[in-house]
Amino acid sequence: MNNFKNNTIDHTPYWHADTGFQEHSIDTELSSLPDALEIIIVGSGFTGLSAALTLARAGKKVAVLDSGKIGSGASSRNGGLLGPSFHKLGMQGLTKKYGQDTANAVLKESLAGFDWLVDFIGRENIGCDLQHCGRFRGALTPEHYTNMAKQAESLAKVLDYPVTLISKSEQHLEVGTDKYCGGVVYNKDASLHPAKLVQGLIEKLMAEGVSLIANAKVGNISADGQGFKVKVGDREIATDEVLIATNGYTGNVTPNLKKRIIPIRSSMIATQSISQELMHSVSPKLHTHGGTDRLVLYYRPSPDGTRLLFGGRALSYADKPNEYIKFLHDSMLDIFPQLQDSKIDYAWSGLVAYSFDHVPHLGKMDGMYYAMGYCGSGVARANYLGHKIAMKMLGNAGETIFEQFEFSGKPFYNGNPWFMPAVIRWHSVADKFGW
Ligand SMILES: Cc1cc2nc3c(=O)[nH]c(=O)nc-3n(C[C@H](O)[C@H](O)[C@H](O)COP(=O)(O)OP(=O)(O)OC[C@H]3O[C@@H](n4cnc5c(N)ncnc54)[C@H](O)[C@@H]3O)c2cc1C
């Protein structure tokens, strides 16, 4: 039985409530900006903030504009699961599609991006509850388990990325459910507090004197021969370069990027504080978790180990809390019936961006730089590729395998993901029957 009471749920991301994120006033007034700048970054998530830091430290005059609060897009509302985010096709699929060398390069750079972020957090001394907790991925069917074993074997040939295969009889040591037919532990995977990472980046940027302008929705960008004119409300600001860092929120200001991105809503719930014993019965080693389901369910303990944070794709593109809270709560109880009496304290959602080839993309379009399309796994990718695109803007190499893939759309697709609700409902049925 589903016993949550929606009217007692706080619709603030747990991460925001935990840090007082909404009350922080770190942004500068739009009126304080000069009429001309060297670089304007549109979007203040990990991509924009990471790029801004690299650019500012190279001596560039940078402003970051966001239509909402600084960092309030997906970057401060995600699950905080941190891993290399290997390509959806896996080793075999990548090799078949792109050849062995490209497949190896994608996997190696995915791991390099993860290592880069872990190193960056340590070097910059950003307190964001980084925990090297490992991730358990459960197989929904015996076939999925066999495939996982093959993937683990081929990964080990290319990467120094320790993976432990866990049989069904041993899985209770990793996760407190019989739902899976075994799985793997990615030992190197980690978790962090995303809003604390955003705040850490903001502090670094403020120390560099970067202007962070909230509630500044960019309405138009036009090329003027020498650079660009960026329109925000009544202001028009001239800039030499523009970086578009809008990912799942990419809109009509950049129609050519919008039609290459499929925005998908991802949603999360957080339980009330639960006892250590109950948490242990769910996640004995406090791993992060996911499964082979198509709806991409993921979950983890909060950094203090007191709440379970549980997420997955929302069924609709529009923000419909009643719909996704019920779906997530039902899914959570299906895996962990022992949480039956645990109330839901928080529920929230945000937008992620898929590309048609499931590869993140960065480069230059219509004269403007961009980095986006992290396919729902952007904590490491957005920070790393934000840094990489900034290196490109500085004229340094910033080479990456991800710039070699063509950023394509589809005929007749203009950025309106009208087909996604049907696809997601199909995924939900397929998961139910283990297809
Ligand atoms: C619920 C949820 C859970 C997730 N869980 C994980 C996870 O556990 N692990 C993981 O790796 N990834 C996860 N992700 C994905 C990850 O959060 C994103 O891929 C990443 O944060 C993208 O960063 P970004 O900076 O590119 O975009 P965002 O952080 O989304 O920032 C884009 C910004 O652009 C702004 N913007 C858009 N248009 C304009 C405009 N015209 N003018 C001004 N500003 C504009 C928006 O307001 C927004 O703030 C999750 C995402 C969500 C939503």
User: Ligand 1 mean position to 325 CA, how many Å?
Assistant: 20
Whether pLDDT at 434 is above 90 = no
Tokens of 420: 């996604």
Q: Which of 388, 331, 341, 304 is nearest to 109 (CA)?
A: 388
- Which atom of ligand 1 has the smallest separation from the CA of 49? 25
Give helix 100-123 / helix 379-393 axis angle, nearest 10°. Answer: 90
Contact 66, 216 (CB under 8 A): yes
Contact 31, 43 (CB under 8 A): no
> What mean pLDDT do residues 83-96 have?
80
Q: Which of 322, 284, 372 is nearest to 45 (CA)?
A: 372
> What mean pLDDT do residues 203-208 have?
96
What pLDDT is attached to residue 32?
87
Closest-CA residue, ligand 1 atom 49, reads 73
What pLDDT is attached to residue 307?
98
What pLDDT is attached to residue 7?
67
Tokens of 159: 């990467």
Sequence length of the chain is 435
Closest-CA residue, ligand 1 atom 9, reads 81
> What is the tens place of the pLDDT at every residue in 57-80?
999 999 999 999 999 999 999 999
d(CA 370, CA 261): 12
- Which atom of ligand 1 has the smallest separation from the CA of 298? 8
What pLDDT is attached to residue 1?
46
- Which atom of ligand 1 has the smallest separation from the CA of 79? 8
- Which atom of ligand 1 has the smallest separation from the CA of 75? 21
Whether pLDDT at 196 is above 90 = yes
User: Ligand 1 mean position to 13 CA, how many Å?
Assistant: 13
The two beta strands, 308-313 and 261-271, are antiparallel
**CA distance readout (Å), 288 to 2, 50, 393:** 24, 24, 35
Contact 207, 4 (CB under 8 A): no
> What is the tens place of the pLDDT at every residue in 221-264?
999 888 999 999 999 999 999 999 999 999 999 999 999 999 99
pLDDT class for 296, splitting at 50, 70, 90? confident
Q: Indicate the domain borders of the chain.
A: 11-78+196-261+356-414
What pLDDT is attached to residue 426?
77
User: Ligand 1 mean position to 194 CA, how many Å?
Assistant: 11
DSSP 279-308: HHHH-TT--EEEES-TT--EEEE-TTSSSE
Share of the chain above pLDDT 70, in %: 97
Any idea which residue has 């004119």 for tokens? Answer: 229
Residues near ligand 1 with C-beta < 6 Å? 42-48, 65-68, 72-75, 77-81, 217-218, 245-249, 251, 253, 266-268, 298, 311, 349-350, 352, 372, 374, 376-379, 382
Select from 3.30.70.270, 3.40.91.10, 3.90.440.10, 3.50.50.60 the CATH code of 11-78+196-261+356-414. 3.50.50.60
What pLDDT is attached to residue 424?
77
What pLDDT is attached to residue 430?
74
Whether pLDDT at 25 is above 80 = no
- Which atom of ligand 1 has the smallest separation from the CA of 375? 19
Share of the chain above pLDDT 90, in %: 78
User: Ligand 1 mean position to 374 CA, how many Å?
Assistant: 9
Average pLDDT, rounded, for the chain: 93
What pLDDT is attached to residue 28?
75
- Which atom of ligand 1 has the smallest separation from the CA of 266? 1
User: Ligand 1 mean position to 72 CA, how many Å?
Assistant: 8
Q: Which of 92-101, 253-262, 371-380 has the lowest mean pLDDT?
A: 92-101
Whether pLDDT at 398 is above 80 = no
Closest-CA residue, ligand 1 atom 10, reads 377
Closest-CA residue, ligand 1 atom 2, reads 78
d(CA 36, CA 239): 6
DSSP secondary-structure letter at 182? -
The two beta strands, 218-223 and 344-355, are unpaired
User: Ligand 1 mean position to 244 CA, how many Å?
Assistant: 12
> What is the tens place of the pLDDT at every residue in 143-188?
999 999 998 888 888 888 889 999 999 999 999 999 999 999 999 9
169 vs 4, higher pLDDT: 169
DSSP 385-416: HHHHHHHHHTTS----GGGGS-----TT--S-
> What mean pLDDT do residues 97-117 have?
93
What pLDDT is attached to residue 93?
80
User: Ligand 1 mean position to 245 CA, how many Å?
Assistant: 9
**Strand partners for 185:** 136, 164
User: Ligand 1 mean position to 45 CA, how many Å?
Assistant: 6
Whether pLDDT at 22 is above 80 = no
Instruction: Round to the nearest angstrom and report the end-to-end CA distance of the chain.
Output: 26
DSSP secondary-structure letter at 131? B
